[in-house]
């Protein structure tokens, strides 16, 4: 039975966690993700779930507790943002290297300093190569759905990697939207029970977790992690197909919007995709063949799918809500241009750093990007491919 509700993204995430009913949740509050464990703790105190809720003294401890619980054979979840994720840094890498399928809600926020509690993607981009699967969510519905799919992906024996579900701080985390929830029994059946093959509390198979791993083995173990990330791509597709049969909601690695005959396109992630789609419709009404490519899965990076989606585009703009501070564009831009190059696709590409620290990105901003792409198509001249959008004094 489907349940129609009006929820914020944080509420939707907490309800997904309630329906999953994990064995352990360990968390420390940090804006804008605080509401997720706060809401979930009420489910614990009211006896709605039988989860062991651990209120820790820091985010480093939160991830440490999740690692201990998952290694012991429990299903563990947490939530954080920005500086909280930064404080987890050491344990983020340990969680993935130990092949522990922990699931985390990451409510994206600018990483200090200076202090800013609003949205950009600097936190997720900072750990993009840490060995975690990364799913991005345009809407509250997608954040909820991604969490329902997360454990089936992460716990697959061909994957066994931790997974973070990203959503934009305040823009979706605190904004209320219409949403369709699945009933508790349907979710529990879909997610299934966690049955690890190897775990610390298995007295029939004594194991060590986190031993010293020097020259003789570490290289091979890292290679295995890389292979697991490759495997995750097909598993994500398989789980999404199963989810579609259950709910009618379809998800892929990417989402193509009016790209079939598009001359120009914008590539973006998370909530910006909604603004970009709306603006593409406006441009279409003006006779301009505009499209949007939304990246849902950033790790593993769907390079072949992206290259195929963009191969007939004349000019593309890649929007990054984080700046790599490397003088040659943001992380999404460098990954996409690499994918195009490796797949022998040569199209004009420009990068726009935008929305840093929660700077509002409007329809007018997106129109400007499309108009810039039109000029590139008409003139064949890119000029500066590394640009900023909506920053005072430097909209170049």
The residues facing 179 across adjacent strands are 5
Among 390, 353, 357, smallest CA distance to 113 is for 357
Among 104, 163, 391, smallest CA distance to 298 is for 163
d(CA 375, CA 308): 24
Instruction: Confirm if 161 and 96 have CB atoms less than 8 A apart.
Output: yes
Class of domain 2-247: alpha beta
Q: Following DSSP, what letter does each residue of 9-38 receive, concatenated?
A: HHHHHHHHHHHH--SEEEE---TTTTHHHH
Whole-model pTM?
0.97
d(CA 244, CA 252): 10
Instruction: Confirm if 132 and 92 have CB atoms less than 8 A apart.
Output: yes
d(CA 26, CA 229): 25
Residue 344: per-residue pLDDT: 97
Instruction: Confirm if 279 and 370 have CB atoms less than 8 A apart.
Output: yes
The pLDDT profile of the chain, 396 residues, written as one tens digit per residue, is 899 999 999 999 999 999 999 999 999 999 999 999 999 999 999 999 999 999 999 999 999 999 999 999 999 999 999 999 999 999 999 999 999 999 999 999 999 989 999 999 999 999 999 999 999 999 999 999 999 999 999 999 999 999 999 999 999 999 999 999 999 999 999 999 999 999 999 999 999 998 899 999 999 999 999 999 999 999 999 999 999 999 999 999 999 999 999 999 999 999 999 999 999 999 999 999 999 999 999 999 999 999 999 999 999 999 999 999 999 999 999 999 999 999 999 999 999 999 999 999 999 999 999 999 999 999 999 999 999 999 998 754
Residue 395: per-residue pLDDT: 53
Please give the CATH number for the structural domain made up of 254-389.
3.40.50.920
Domain ranges of the chain: 2-247, 254-389
Mean pLDDT of the chain: 97
């Amino acid at each position: 039975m489907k349940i129609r509700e009006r929820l914020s993204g944080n509420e939707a995430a907490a309800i997904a966690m309630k329906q999953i009913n994990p064995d352990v949740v360990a968390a420390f509050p940090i804006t804008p993700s605080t509401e997720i464990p706060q809401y979930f703790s009420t489910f614990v105190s009211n006896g709605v779930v039988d989860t062991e809720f651990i209120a820790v003294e820091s985010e480093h401890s939160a991830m440490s507790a999740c690692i201990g619980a998952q290694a012991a054979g429990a299903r563990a979840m947490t939530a954080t943002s920005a500086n909280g994720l930064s404080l987890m840094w050491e344990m983020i890498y340990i969680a993935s290297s130990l092949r522990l399928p922990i699931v985390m809600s990451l409510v994206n926020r600018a990483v200090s300093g200076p202090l800013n509690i609003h949205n950009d993607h600097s936190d997720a981009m900072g750990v993009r190569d840490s060995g975690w699967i990364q799913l991005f969510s345009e809407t509250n519905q997608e954040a909820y759905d991604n969490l329902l799919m997360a454990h089936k992906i992460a716990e697959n024996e061909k994957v066994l990697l931790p997974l973070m579900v990203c959503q934009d701080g305040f823009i979706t985390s605190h904004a209320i939207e219409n949403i369709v929830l699945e009933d508790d029994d349907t979710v529990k059946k879909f997610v299934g029970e966690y049955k690890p093959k190897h775990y610390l509390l298995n007295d029939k198979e004594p194991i060590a977790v986190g031993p010293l791993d020097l020259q003789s083995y570490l290289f091979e173990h890292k290679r295995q992690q890389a292979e697991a990330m490759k495997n995750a791509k097909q598993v994500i597709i398989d789980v999404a197909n199963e989810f579609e049969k259950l709910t009618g909601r379809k998800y892929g690695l990417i989402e193509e919007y009016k790209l079939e005959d598009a001359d120009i396109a914008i590539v973006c992630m998370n909530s910006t995709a909604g603004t970009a789609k709306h603006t593409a419709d406006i441009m279409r009404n003006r006779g301009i063949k505009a499209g949007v490519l939304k990246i849902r899965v950033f790790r593993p990076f769907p390079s072949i799918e992206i290259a195929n989606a963009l191969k007939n585009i004349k000019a593309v703009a890649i929007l990054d809500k984080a700046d790599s501070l490397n003088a040659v564009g943001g992380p999404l831009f460098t990954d996409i241009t690499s994918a195009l190059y490796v797949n022998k696709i040569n199209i004009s590409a420009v990068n726009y750093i935008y929305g840093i620290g929660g700077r509002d990105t409007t329809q007018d901003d997106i129109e400007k990007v499309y108009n810039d792409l039109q000029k590139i198509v008409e003139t064949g001249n890119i000029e500066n491919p590394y640009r900023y959008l909506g920053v005072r004094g430097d909209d170049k």
